[in-house]
Structure 1
Amino acid sequence: MAGVFILITPLIFANMRNFLMIIVAAVAFFSACEKDISVNLQQQEPSLVVEGKFETNRYPQVVLTRSLGYFSEIAPATLLASFVHNAVVTVSDSVRTMTLKERIVEIAGLGRVFAYVPDTSRPAAAFRGKNGGRYTLKITADNKSYEAVTTIPLQGLHLDTIWWQRVRKENDTSNARVWARITDAAASGNYARYFTRTNSGAFLPGMNSTMDDQVVNGTTFEIPLDAGVDKSKRENPETYGFFKRGDTVTVKFCNVDKATFSFWRALDFAYNSTGNPFASPTKILGNVPGAVGYWGGYAVTYKTVIIRK
C-alpha cells in the first residue's frame, strides 16, 4: 500500500487514521450481508519527501525526510528517524551555485530539526533570494538524483494595507477580524499564500492559505485574513479565524508561482476534508519529479496592525 508523506511544517496528517477507519467502517457496513472482504495491503519503498523554500532576502532551507507507511506510528522517535542525512544539496541561480550543508536549525513553532542550509560563515559561497529570480534545486540522496525549479515571482498581488474590525458575538466583544486590501496587476496568473503571527508567536497559515487572481484580475479588492492555525491541533470552530483585542498581528504575505500555489491549495483542501468520508480524493501536486513535496519561492511582504483593547 502507498505510504503517506509527512511535511515537518506543518504535521497535517495527524488524523489520517481516523479518516481511514471511517472508510473501512462504511465499506464493512454496506457489504456485511454479502461477503467477507479481504484487502491486500501492498508495501512500497519509502519516497523522498522534500520541503524546500527560498524567500526574499533570505537563504534557502531544505528539509529532507522519508515517507512513512500508512499505518506507521507518528511519534517523535519515528519522525526523528525519518530525516535523510548526508545528502548532496545545491541551489543555483544559473550563474552561481551554493552547496547546502546539513545543520540542526530552529524552526518557529516546531523546534530543532535537521535541515540543509548554506554556510553563511562564507558569504561568497551563499546568496539570498531575490524577487524575479529563478532557482534550481538539485538533490542526491540514497544514490538517486532529483531536480526541481522554482521562482520567486514579482509581486503581482500587492498587499496595500491591513486593518481590524471588532466582532460581536452576543455580549462578547473580545474578538476581532483582520482585513486586507490587495491590488492585482493587470496581467493574469498571479498567486499568493499568507501567514499570520500573533504577538511574538510563530507565523502560521490559515486553513485556506492560498489565493489567485482568477476572479479579481486587475482589480483592488478587500478580503478577511483568518488567524493562522497549528494544523497538528484541533481548532475550535466557534473562534477560528479571530484574533483577540490587544493582539499585535503581523501578516506575512507571499507571492508564489503556480506550482507552489497548486501544492499548498491541494494540501489545504486535504486537511480541511480529513474525517469527511464523502469528500473527493485529493492528489497532492508536488514539483519535485521522483519525490514528493515541494521546492517553493516566496516573494515576501510584512505588515503589522495593533488591535486596540
Structure 2
Amino acid sequence: MKGAWQIRTLLTAVFMISCAGCEKNIHIQVASPAEELVVEGYIESYQQPVVILTHSLSYFSRLDTTVLSNLFVHGAQIWVTDEQLHDSILLEEKAHDTAGGILFYDYRPVQNGHVVGLPGHTYDLHIQVNGKQYFARTTIPSTGIELDSLYYLLVKPTRDHPDTDRVVLFGRFYDPPQLGNYARYFTKVNSEPFYPGYHSVADDEVVNGTVFDFQLDRGVDKNQPIDPETYGTFRLGDTITVKFCDIDKATYDFWRTWEYAFTTNGNPFSVPIQILGNIPGALGYWGGYRVMYKSIYIPK
C-alpha cells in the first residue's frame, strides 16, 4: 500500500459549433485549482499506523523527478488515538530509498509503541501542518466477510493459445447474517509486492449471510499499462498470496469512488463522480483494515 495516491478531479467541457459556411474557434481556459493536502493513512490489525502526506497537483501538471521529490509534505505533527484504550501515539516523518533514486516519505510511530490496530477498536487521526488541523476517524471491524479457502481453474485453451499456462483464482467466502460488511483485497505473486485488484472493494448487499465463491483477479500496478490478453490471470508455477481485508464503510466508499474515477478517466461519456474521502478539509482517507492472509501454490 505504499505510494502517494493523487486525487485529481477534471471537469471538461467540449463544445462543437458548426454552421453552414462558417466556423468559430472556441478557446477554453481551465483554472488551476488551489493546492490541497492529500492524505493516505491506514492502520491494519496488529500493526502500527502509517500516514503519507502529499499535496495535490493540477491535472495538467507534468511529472518529473523534481515534481515527485517536492510532492511530499514535511514537518507535520500527527497523532493517532485508540478511543477504547484512551491511548495516543505520535508519528514522525521517515525517509525511504526507492529504486528510482527518489526518496519516499511517510509518518510512522516514533518508536515501537503500544498503539496497534485491534479489531473492534476506533482510531482517531489528528494532523497539524502549515497552521491547519485535520481530524478523521476509522474503525477496524471486529467481524466481517471471512476468506475460507482458495482454488483455481485452468483457462480454457483457444485457437490462438492452444497450450495456455494461465489460471484464474477463486476464493470461498463466508458472510455473516448482519448486513453492512465491506472488504478490499490485494494479491502477491511470488516475490512481487502486494497489489490491489483493479476493482478491489466489494460489499455484501447481494451475498449477505451466504457462503459464496468469487473470482479474485490478479492485483495490478495502476502505474503500468494492462495487457488485456493476460489481465486478471496467474501462471502455472506461481505462488499466490491473497491479503483480504474487512473495512468500514468510509474506507469502502473512498476506494469505490476512487477506482471508478480511475477507470473512467478520459471517457467523455462517463458520469462525473465525486471521490468520497473522510478527512474534512483535505483529500484522501484514513482507514482501518482487519487483515487475513491465504496462500496457494499452482503446480506446473
Scaled by the length of structure 1, the TM-score of the pair is: 0.88
Of 109, 116, 122 in structure 2, the residue corresponding to residue 118 of structure 1 is 109
Structure 2 Cα separation of the partners of residues 246 and 41 of structure 1: 50
Q: Which residue of 1 aligns with 2:64?
A: 75
Of 4, 8, 24 in structure 1, the residue corresponding to residue 3 of structure 2 is 8
Where do 4+ consecutive residues of structure 1 move more than 4 Å?
9-13, 106-112
Contact 2:166–2:233 (CA<8 Å) still a contact in 1? yes
Q: SS of 1:168's equivalent? A: coil
1:112 positional shift: 4.9
Pair 1:44-2:33 in alignment:
yes
Q: Which residue of 2 aligns with 1:169?
A: 157
What's the RMSD between the two structures over aligned residues?
2.3
In 2 relative to 1, CA 166–12 (structure 1 residues): closer, same or farther, beyond 3 Å? farther
Aligned residue runs from structure 1 range 257-276, under 5 A: 257-276=248-267
Aligned residue runs from structure 1 range 131-150, under 5 A: 131-150=119-138
Contact 1:156–1:184 (CA<8 Å) still a contact in 2? yes
Of 54, 61, 66 in structure 1, the residue corresponding to residue 43 of structure 2 is 54
Scaled by the length of structure 2, the TM-score of the pair is: 0.90
In 2 relative to 1, CA 54–109 (structure 1 residues): closer, same or farther, beyond 3 Å? farther
Letter in 2 for 1:162: L
Q: Which residue of 1 aligns with 2:185?
A: 194
Q: SS of 2:74's equivalent? A: coil
Query: Can you give the 5+ residue segments of structure 1 that lack an aligned partner in the other structure?
Result: 1-6
1:234 positional shift: 0.8
Q: Deviations over 1:182-240 (max 9, x none)?
A: 11011100000000000011000111101100011100100100000000111011110
In 2 relative to 1, CA 299–105 (structure 1 residues): closer, same or farther, beyond 3 Å? farther
Contact 2:6–2:38 (CA<8 Å) still a contact in 1? no
Of 155, 158, 162 in structure 1, the residue corresponding to residue 146 of structure 2 is 158
1:173 positional shift: 2.4
Structure 2 Cα separation of the partners of residues 97 and 12 of structure 1: 29
Of 206, 212, 226 in structure 1, the residue corresponding to residue 197 of structure 2 is 206
Structure 1 Cα separation of the partners of residues 194 and 110 of structure 2: 25
For this pair of structures, how many residues does the alignment match? 291
Q: Deviations over 1:287-307 (max 9, x none)?
A: 000000000000000000001
Pair 1:242-2:228 in alignment:
no
Higher helix share: 1
Q: Deviations over 1:40-91 (max 9, x none)?
A: 4333321000000100111110000110112111223212101110101000
1:266 positional shift: 0.9
Letter in 1 for 2:128: T
User: Mean alpha-carbon deviation: is it higher for 166-175 or for 197-206?
Assistant: 166-175
Q: SS of 2:262's equivalent? A: helix
Structure 2 Cα separation of the partners of residues 157 and 109 of structure 1: 38
Structure 2 Cα separation of the partners of residues 109 and 287 of structure 1: 31
Structure 2 Cα separation of the partners of residues 228 and 111 of structure 1: 24
Structure 2 Cα separation of the partners of residues 98 and 89 of structure 1: 9
Q: SS of 2:165's equivalent? A: strand
Query: Can you give the 5+ residue segments of structure 2 that lack an aligned partner in the other structure?
Result: none
Q: SS of 2:156's equivalent? A: strand
Q: Which residue of 1 aligns with 2:169?
A: 178
Contact 1:119–1:126 (CA<8 Å) still a contact in 2? no
Q: Which residue of 2 aligns with 1:66?
A: 55
Aligned residue runs from structure 1 range 245-256, under 5 A: 245-256=236-247
Q: Which residue of 2 aligns with 1:217?
A: 208
Letter in 1 for 2:3: I
Of 96, 107, 113 in structure 1, the residue corresponding to residue 87 of structure 2 is 96
Q: SS of 1:267's equivalent? A: helix
Pair 1:87-2:82 in alignment:
no
